[in-house]
Amino acid sequence: MQKIYIYKRFERFWHWVQASLIIFLALTGFEVHGAYKIFGFEKAVEFHRVASWMLIGLIIFAIFWHLTTGEWRQYIPTTKQLKEQVIYYLSGIFKGEHHPTEKTGLSKLNPLQRIVYLGFKLVLVPITIISGILYMLYKTFDQNNLIVIEDYPLSSIAFWHTLGAILLMIFLVVHVYMTTTGKTPTSNIKAMITGYEELNDEQEEGTVENDKNQETK
């Protein structure tokens, strides 16, 4: 057993800011949708708009980070041991069995996580953000101060945006629960806060010493 530096500083920052923005966007978004009243429609719209630009900005940074650090490779999907991973969550976990896949600094996502997170990044978030941008720019002004109206019906744009939001909320529920399935119920969350997690130490790279060296270089 060894403490491994698994989540980098930007990664943690990105994760938690994105999480809070998505929760805040859901809170204001479903109010705009008419589900309940917290801030009042006008404030909810304004907050939603500001938070949405912040999320878009953050995601641009995150894409840059993934590409430059090569971390995007973590999300390459694989079917190897995917079935075992699913079976583990459906039965093995109750019997106290060990995870079928090993978490390492090089491969910190299990096959199920890889597929779900890739879907989150390539399908779910793009659907929500693109429909959101269309929603925001649905009616706009051109240079001559005239008004340009999209022919694409707002009801369809709203459909995709609402669908994305609902799926994101379902993701949120399942994701938060799944974080409790680590070594101890809080070990995964602690790792996402501190960056360090106790892992089996048979790996080549990513040990505390190595990482500290990298940091101070």
Partner 1 sequence: MFNTKLRNILLVIVVIIISLIMVNVLHQEDHYNLKLEELRHKYALKEVPSVVHSKLPELQRVFKTPQEVTEACLSCHTETHKEVMASSHWNWERVAYVEGRGISSAGKKNVMNNFCLGTTSNQKSCAKCHIGYGMNDNQFDFNNARNVDCMVCHDNSDEYLKGASMAGYPDRTVNLEKVAQSVGAPKRSNCGSCHFFSGGGNNVKHGDLESAMLSCSREVDVHMGANGMNMDCVACHTAKNHQMLGKLYSVSTDNTNRSTCEQCHTSTPHLRDVINRHGSRVSCQACHIPVYAKVNSTKMAWRWSDAGKLKDGKPYEEDDSLGNHKYMSIKGSFTWARNVKPDYMWFNGTADQYLLGDTIQSVPVQMNTLHGSHNDRHSKIIPVKIHVGDQIYDKVYHRLVQPKLYGEAEGDSAFWKDFKWDEAAKAGMKTSGLPYSGQYGFVKTEMYWPVNHMVSPKSEAVGCAECHTRNNGRLAKLTGFYLPGRDQNKTLDFVGYWMFILALIAVFGHAIVRISMNIAKNKYEKQIINYDEDKPIG
Using CB under 8 A as the criterion, which residues of the chain lie in contact with partner 1 when the complex forms?
A: 9-10, 13, 32-34, 40-42, 45-47, 49-50, 53-54, 57-58, 61, 89, 93-96, 139-141, 145-147, 149, 153-155, 158-159, 162-163, 166, 169-170, 173-174, 177, 180, 214-215, 217
**Hey, how many other C-beta atoms are within 10 angstroms of the C-beta on 161?**
22
> Cβ neighbours of residue 136 under 8 Å, at least 6 residues apart?
49, 52
Residue 42 or residue 204: which is nearer to partner 1 going by CB?
42
Q: Residue 195 CB, nearest distance to partner 1 (Å)?
A: 13
CB of 69 or CB of 194, closer to partner 1: 69
The distance of closest approach from Cβ of residue 212 to partner 1 in the complex, given in angstroms and rounded to an integer, is 12
Cβ distance to partner 1 smaller for residue 40 or 126? 40
Residue 17: phi and psi, rounded to 5, are -65, -45
Distance in Å, CB of 81 to partner 1, minimum: 21
Residue (69 or 200) nearer to partner 1, CB: 69
User: H or E segment at 4?
Assistant: strand 2-5
Cβ nearer to partner 1, comparing 67 with 78 = 67
Task: List all residues 6 or more positions away from 112 whose beta carbon is below 8 Å from its beta carbon.
Answer: 82, 85, 86, 89
Residues in the chain, how many?
217
Could you identify the residue written with the tokens 């459909």? Answer: 159
Decide: 122 and 63 in contact? Cβ < 8 Å.
Answer: no
* CB of 175 vs partner 1, minimal distance in Å: 10
Biggest CA-to-CA distance, the chain: 69
- Tell the smallest beta-carbon distance from residue 88 to partner 1 (Å): 12
Q: Which is nearer to partner 1, 201 or 205 (CB)?
A: 205
Residue 185 tokens, joined: 């119920």
Q: How far is the CB of 173 from partner 1 (least distance, A)?
A: 5
Which helix (H) or strand (E) segment is 149 a member of? Answer: strand 147-149
